[in-house]
Amino acid sequence: MEEFELNHLSATIKVINKKIEKAQIELADLKRLFEEKRLELGNNFYEYKQGQDLSGTFTSMSQIEEQQLGLEKEISKLRNQNNSPYFARIDFQTSSALQKVYIGLGSIIYNKKVYAVDWRSPIASLYYEYELGDAQYHINDKVIKGALTLKRQYKIENQQLLSYFDTNLTINDEILQEILSKHASDKMRQIVSTIQKEQNAIIRTEKTENILVQGVAGSGKTSIALHKAAYLLYKHRRSLKSSDILVLSPNNIFSSYISEVLPQLGEDNLVETTFAQLVRTELKRPIEPREDMLDEIATKADQETLNEISYKSSYEFLDSLLRFLKGPLTDIFSPKTLRYVIKEKDEGNEEIVFTEEETRNLFFKTFKGYDFYERINKIAWQYAMVFTEKRHYNKMQHRGLKDRFKHILYSFMPISDVEQIFQIFMAREKLSAKKTNTIKYMDKGTYLAIKHYLYGLDHDFSAKYLIIDEMQDFTPVDIYMFKKIWSCPYMIVGDVNQCIEKTLSKEYLQLTADFLGCNVYNLNKTYRSTQEIASFANNMIGIKNVEYVNRRGQSPKVIQTENQGQTIAKIITEECSDFDHIAIICKCNKEAKEICKQLNGKIDYVLMKEPEDYKNKVLVTTCATAKGIEFDAVIVPNADEENYKNSLDKNILYISSTRALHKLYFTCQNQPSKYLKNAIQEKE
C-alpha cells in the first residue's frame, strides 16, 4: 500500500482531531460566558427591576447560545468524519497544475491546506460525472477545463485504510457490491460514496428547476431527494436553511426511517409532514389514514368503489371540480345594494352607496380571473378604502372595515358551508358521499380545494423548497393544491408502478409533469434487491428495460404448507437468522392480526404500528405501511390464488416483493397465486 496514502490519511485524522479539540475549547469558553451572563442577570435583578434595559443582556445570551449550537453541530460533523474522512480521490490536470483532490462528507481545511473537499463542492462533481480523460466543472459562471488522470476509491473503517481501487467508473463494482450486500438498518443511510452519474445529475440540478423523478423500485429516489436537499443547503447556505425545506412524506413511520440521512451529512433535519396532517390542520377535521383506505379496498373492494377511486384519481375529476367551483358555485353569488349614512343633514343625508350592479361588475368582470376569496378580499378592500378616504380612518380601522365588508359579501352566498358544497358536487358527479366527521382519504384534496377557493387558507405552509415523496399516491386534486399552496421550486419523486389502489400510465406521468411545469428524469436502474428478486417483481407486472446491479442471490420461493405459522418461523430461524430486519408483509390489518396469532409461541415478533417498531428484528405489517421501507428478507403469507387474484392484488404483491434486499418468500395453504408462476415452488 502506497506510503503516500497512509501518510495522507494519518495527517487528515490528526487535523480532524485538532479541529475537534479547538472547537471543544471554544465551546467550553462559550458555556462559561453564558453562565456568567446568567449569574449577572440574577445578581443585578434589583437594578433591572427599577427599569434598567434588559434587551442588551438577553440579545448577548441569545447570540452565545447560537454560537454554541453552531460549534456543537461542527463537532458532531467532525466526529462523523473521523472514522472515514474521505471515500475517493481524483487527480485533475489543468494547464497550470495537477490537483490531488480527496472527497468526503465535508471539507477538511487546516492552515489553508485542503485535506478533503465536500462531496457537494463543484470540483467533486468531476468524480461523479466523468470517466478518465477530458473533464470540466463550473464555479459560478466560470468553466474550469482539464483532464482526469486518476479516480481512486477507498475503503476506510475506524481510521484504517483497508484497501483502495483505481477505476474509470464512478463506483468500482467490488465496492458497490459490498455496500449493497449489507444488512438493512433501522434508518436510511447516506449514499454519497455510491452516487451514480444519473443520480448526481438530478442532485445538482438548479434550485429554480422543478423536477419530477420517475424511478423504478430500489432506484434510490428518496435518497436522491434528501441528498438534493443537502446539496441545496451547501450551495445556497447564505439564503437557505433546513427549516426552509419541506418534505411531504407518506407516513410517520417513513419519516422516522429517513430521519438520519441529513444529520449523517452534517445538516439539520428538514421540516416534515404528511399532506393528510396539513389538511387536518386546515379543516380541523380528522382524515381517514391511507392505510385504512387501502385496508378496506384490499378486503372488500367492489367494482363500483374501484371505479370511483379511479375517477377521483384522474385529471378529468379535477377538471370537473374546477368547472363546478368557478361556474355553478360562483354564479350563485347574489349581491344587494349597500347604503350607509355617514352624515345627517337637514337638506338630505350624506351617504355612501355600493349598488348591486357595482358589486356584481366587480365580482364577475373586474376580478373574474381570481378565486372566490380573492374577489371578496379585493372588493372588501376597495369598499373599505372609500370609507377611509371620506372619514380619514387609520390602518387599524381600515382593517376592521375590510373584515366587516368581507362578512357582508359572504352573506350574499346562499350556500357557503364547505361540507354542503362538497355534498352538492358529489351528487352532481353521481358519487357516494356519506356525511361523517372523518374525511375520506380520497376526498381530502377536494375538501381543501373547496375551502381554499371560497375562503383561502388559515395557516401559512410556505417553504423555499418542496420535496414530495411517493408522488403516485396523490390525486390530481392533491397536486393542484400543492401548486396553490406552494409557489416555491419543488422536486417530486415516485413510481407510477408502485400504486396500490389504481393503475397509472406514462401518459398520467407526463400530464402531471406538464401541469406542474416539471422536467422529467427517469431512473431505470435498481440497486436495492438482488437481481433474482428485482427481475421476478418486474416480470410480475410487465416492467421492461430495467437495469440491474450484478448482485446475485436466491430466487424467490413459494412454499405451500398446511401450517403457515410454523413454516414462517422455520424460514426466519433457519434461513434468515443472520438478518437484522425481516418483514412479514400482509395484505391487510385483519390478515396481519391473524398471522400474529399463528406466530404466537413460535417466534418473537412485533406488529408494526409506530416508528420505533422498525428497530425490531421481525415485524408483521401490511403492504401500505411497509411502502418505501426496505428489509433484509420479506415473507408474504396467504399468497394463494383466492387472496391474490386481480390487478389490485398484483400491485400489492409487487410492492411487497420490492421491499426485500436479499431474500423473498411466499407462503400459502392452497394453490399459489398465478402472479407467482416465476418463483420456485415448494411443498411441505
Residue with cell 506510503: 3
pLDDT of residue 263: 86
What's the whole-number mean pLDDT along residues 307-330? Answer: 95
Up-side HSE of residue 662: CA atoms within 13 Å toward CB?
A: 20
Q: Are 276 and 287 in contact (CB under 8 A)?
A: yes
Q: Are 528 and 181 in contact (CB under 8 A)?
A: no
CB neighbours of residue 435 within 10 Å: 8
Indicate whether 183 pLDDT > 80.
no
CA 421 remoteness from chain centre:
32
The proportion of the chain whose per-residue pLDDT surpasses 90, expressed as a percent, equals 67
Q: What is the pLDDT of residues 519-552, one digit of tens each?
A: 999 999 998 999 999 999 999 999 988 998 888 9
Which residues 6+ apart lie within 8 Å of 226 measured at CB? 188, 258, 261, 262, 270, 467
In 413-563, where does DSSP find H-type helix? 418-428, 444-455, 476-485, 506-516, 531-541
Which residues 6+ apart lie within 8 Å of 436 measured at CB? none
Query: Of all helices (H) and strands (E), which one includes residue 605?
Result: none
State the amino acid at position 649 in one-letter form.
Answer: D
Q: What is the pLDDT of residues 42-74, one digit of tens each?
A: 666 555 555 555 566 677 888 888 899 888 888
> Distance between CA atoms of 38 and 45, rounded to whole angstroms?
11
Minimum mean pLDDT among 298-312, 431-445, 510-524, 548-562: which range?
298-312
> Distance between CA atoms of 467 and 481, rounded to whole angstroms?
14
pLDDT of residue 45: 59
The proportion of the chain whose per-residue pLDDT surpasses 70, expressed as a percent, equals 93
Query: Of all helices (H) and strands (E), which one includes residue 599?
Result: helix 589-599
pLDDT of residue 66: 87
Q: What is the pLDDT of residues 88-128, one digit of tens each?
A: 999 999 988 999 999 999 999 999 999 999 999 999 999 99
**Per-residue pLDDT band at 177 (split at 50, 70, 90):** low
